[in-house]
Amino acid sequence: MKTNKEYKFDAKGKILGRLATEVALVLRGKDGADFSPNMPDLSRKVTVYNTDELKFTGNKLEDKKYHVYSGYPSGIRTRRLEEQMERDSREVLKLAVYGMLPKNRLRNRFIANLKLLKKGLKGE
């Protein structure tokens, strides 16, 4: 029987990709002994706080780019990682985790169980 499980991650000083891998693994339930890919555990809730304090290796802040296309001619918008972090650091981590989840119908259901906070949890 699967019960509601809540996991908390502190992103302070952690590298983006390594944290996203850990979060994706927990969201899917691959860390449990009862993992089954065809019967996902959608009761797992993951909270990540302090997303403003993520770290990046190399020149990613200047070199990594995020593209958004509106569908219209010349409707592509490009932002560097540094600009995206200033705008909303939660979106950076969400996109990293989203890309690590399986590309099927369950992906949106998994990502719905991810809660991201810019600052630390109250009371900790």
For residue 72, name the pLDDT band (cuts at 50, 70, 90). very high
Output the CA–CA distances (angstroms, integers) from residue 41 to 19, 37, 47, 67, 93, in the order listed.
Answer: 20, 9, 16, 32, 22
The pLDDT of residue 1: 46
**pTM for this one?**
0.90
Asked if residue 123 has pLDDT above 70, the reply is no
Output the CA–CA distances (angstroms, integers) from residue 74 to 66, 78, 112, in the order listed.
Answer: 16, 11, 31
CA distance 108 to 112: 6
The pair of structure tokens assigned to 105 is 């119908």
Which stretches of the chain are assigned E, i.e. beta strand? 5-10, 44-49, 65-69, 76-80, 114-116
| Domains, in order of start, for the chain | 5-116 (3.90.1180.10)
